[in-house]
Amino acid sequence: MINAGDDPADGWFPESVAVGYDDPGGANSSEVVTPAVDVLEDLADGPVLEFAVGTGRIAAPLAARGVPVSGIELSQAMAARIASKPGGDSIEVTIGDMTTTRVDGQFSLVYLVFNTINNVTTQDGQVDVFRNAAAHLRPGGLFLVEVGVPNLRRLPPGQDAVPFVVTPGYVGFDQYDVVTQEFTSNHVTVPPDGKGRFRRIPFRYVWPAEMDLMARIAGMSLKHRWAGWDRSEFTAESTKHVSVWEKR
């Protein structure tokens, strides 16, 4: 849904979304941000590039530690917030699509966090993300992805929707197409004035092993797979993973 003042070119993250993206708490809390920045700083061995850099939630604190950070981002509205953050003024941002956009330079690390590989809604497009990451890496460089494990174990036969929040004022559910691996996240918000809002965002889920194959197509191989930023072991019960592939 496009609100007045939103630029359609900003995709699913226009001004009306960007304005609240940095609200305190949740994904913006230091408990979430700091462990991610710790791992990225540790893996960086020279300039790094964030695909879908957003408002610089991760990129700005990483740059503030002295790591040279560049970013690619589709939404001008999201990217406009980066420069005003501590560390953000040093980040060079290119507006474009991470499946195709090239920036100058060779990087030690390309990273794509917060489930954003799922925002690319075709398998071919996701392969292009891996190819584009590899094209920006020097030999031995690393590509890191943070993404959830597809939630299909919660989907009994005959059902295609999985609720993730059900409260009086807000209902959220994902709806899956297990043939195409496309899914939508659906958010129904009903404030006290009764004027409801429905927001549906399209995604494509991707399996860890499928990503290993995408990496191989792009000339990379798996180096690490952790269950989270704490580098804990990835197991059959893990609900997300942080995976790192190395360019051969």
Is the separation of the CB atoms in 151 and 183 below 8 Å? no
The Cα-based distances of 103 to 11, 99, 131, 148 in angstroms read 21, 12, 14, 28
234 sits near ligand SAM (criterion: CB under 6 A): no
- By rule CB under 6 A, what count of residues binds ligand SAM? 20
Does residue 78 interact with ligand SAM by CB under 6 A? yes
Sole binder of ligand SAM in the list 76, 114, 223, 246 (CB under 6 A)? 114
- Taking CB under 6 A as the criterion, the residue among 120, 137, 144, 211 binding ligand SAM is 120
Q: Which of 37, 58, 145, 206 binds ligand SAM (CB under 6 A)?
A: 58
What type of residue is 146? E
- Is residue 144 a contact point for ligand SAM (CB under 6 A)? no
Q: Measured at CB, which residue is nearest to ligand SAM?
A: 54
Least gap, CB of 19 to ligand SAM (angstroms):
13
Query: Looking at the DSSP assignment, which residues form a beta bridge with residue 200?
Result: 186
Give yes or no for residue 173 binding ligand SAM (CB under 6 A). no
Contacting positions for ligand SAM (CB under 6 A): 11, 13, 52-54, 57-58, 72-75, 78, 97-99, 113-114, 116, 119-120
